[in-house]
Amino acid sequence: MPFAGSRMTEKPSSIVQAATGGVLMGLANLVPGVSGGTMLLVTGIYTEFITAIADVTRLRWRASSLIFLSAVVGAAASTILLLAGPTKTLVIEQRWIMYSLFIGLTLGGVPLIWRLAQPVSKSFFVGTGVAFALMVLVALGHTAQAGQEQGSLFLLFFAGLVGASAMILPGVSGGYLLLLLGQYVPILTGIEKLKIGLLGAGEETGLNWPVLNEAFFVVVPVGIGVVVGVVGVSNLIRWLLEHCRTATLGVLMGLILGAVVGLWPFRTGIQPQVGGMVKGQMVTPETLIQIEVEDWPVRFFTPSLGQIGSGLVLICLGLGATLALDRFNTKSSQSD
């Protein structure tokens, strides 16, 4: 499944190149608006990554594919484990700043999808319109239920599956889709707890099992969803791009454009009140002090002129960063 703009190399990538792509993919999966697939394109290992996944899922145990995937996945997992905590803190405490940046990063995927879709046809615009409308409905539904999400194993599994599909798709951000599902902060919290538990923080020796048990409740269903997504969804998407390429790319364009609606930056968390609902449970004086900041309901606020101006600057910075990466990839592919 060749992609315009991807680097078709005849020799296998080095371990360093694979690990670099894995680090960038890990960062992309932490940041809503940035696509892991785009980062693999930038480092020139996208085609090899797709091929290696196909080999493994079809039980073709080639040493080169296993070594390559180990380097990419290991680097991505390590990056996510180390940086999940700081990223979650920034999103919670600097929401409008981070969301403004995410909007720019999201819009940066538009030129990439547009280039892949050439020559466009009616099916492209139909797919764009349908996907855009669906994303708007999902974003509005999520906004209306902010702070009301009830955590469930199925939702965490589904979040992992969605995130995995975004690892394969250039231009689609898994982090953003997790935001829409209300699972972005819970998953980052679970990953941070996993790190704390593995380091044994709070214990004199060994692992911190109470913290690990809390982390496993999140990480295990998400991990299963990721595996199912990589094995199933990625192959389905490959089939769609081979047989319904233009319409599928149109859907991807609609997902990107519709993502901006759900990333409206000017909102903030508000402390719950006694008698209110958080995660499907009524707040009592006893439970109020136990509610974490990341679980506070969110409301919109009227930004100042300074915030509007700063938001526009951040949007331009995010857009410029993604466009710069896309330009670098295009020049690299042309030189090969």
* 263-272 tens-digit pLDDT: 788 888 888 8
- Domain extent, residue 79, equals 15-266+302-335
For residues 46-62, average pLDDT: 81
What pLDDT does 220 receive? 92
Contacts of 243 (CB under 8 A, 6+ apart): none
- Where is average pLDDT lowest: 174-183, 197-206, 207-216, 308-317? 197-206
Q: What is the pLDDT of residues 130-171, one digit of tens each?
A: 989 987 886 776 555 544 444 578 888 988 887 777 667 766
Residue 290 pLDDT > 80:
no
The residue among 314 and 262 whose pLDDT is bigger is: 314
What pLDDT does 206 receive? 64
pTM above 0.85, yes or no: no
Residue 83 lies in a domain: yes
What pLDDT does 6 receive? 39
Residue 134 lies in a domain: yes
Residue 262 pLDDT > 70:
yes
User: Percent of the chain scored above 70 by pLDDT?
Assistant: 82
Q: How confident is the model at residue 70 (pLDDT cuts 50, 70, 90)?
A: very high
For residues 179-184, average pLDDT: 74
Contacts of 254 (CB under 8 A, 6+ apart): 127, 128, 129, 130, 131, 132, 133, 134, 135
Residue 287 lies in a domain: no
For residues 256-268, average pLDDT: 81
Residue 214 lies in a domain: yes
- Residue 199's alpha-carbon distances to 82, 205, 223, in angstroms, are 12, 10, 20
Q: For Cα atoms 329, 254, 182, give the angle at the middle one, nearest 5 degrees.
A: 95
Helix (H/G/I), strand (E/B), else coil: 137: helix
Interaxial angle between packed helices 174-181 and 153-168, expressed in degrees from 0 to 180 and rounded to the nearest 10: 160
Number of domains in the chain: 1
What pLDDT does 150 receive? 47
- Residue 108's alpha-carbon distances to 67, 170, 311, 319, in angstroms, are 32, 11, 16, 5
Tell me whether residue 19 is exposed, middle or buried, using C-beta atoms within 10 angstroms of its C-beta: 0 to 12, 13 to 18, 19 or more: buried
Q: How confident is the model at residue 4 (pLDDT cuts 50, 70, 90)?
A: very low
Residue 275 lies in a domain: no
What pLDDT does 123 receive? 93
Q: Count CB atoms within 10 A of the CB of residue 81.
A: 15
For residues 93-114, average pLDDT: 84
Q: Count CB atoms within 10 A of the CB of residue 144.
A: 8
Closest CA to 211 of 193, 188, 185: 193
CA 145 from centroid of its chain's CA atoms: 21
What pLDDT does 49 receive? 87
Contacts of 28 (CB under 8 A, 6+ apart): 34, 35, 36, 38, 39, 173, 174, 175
For residues 235-250, average pLDDT: 82
Q: How far apart are CA 295 and CA 92, in angstroms?
A: 10
Residue 146 lies in a domain: yes
Residue 175 pLDDT > 90:
no
What pLDDT does 3 receive? 45
Q: Average pLDDT of the chain?
A: 79
Residue 56 lies in a domain: yes
Residue 3 lies in a domain: no
Q: How far apart are CA 101 and CA 308, in angstroms?
A: 13
The residue among 231 and 120 whose pLDDT is bigger is: 120
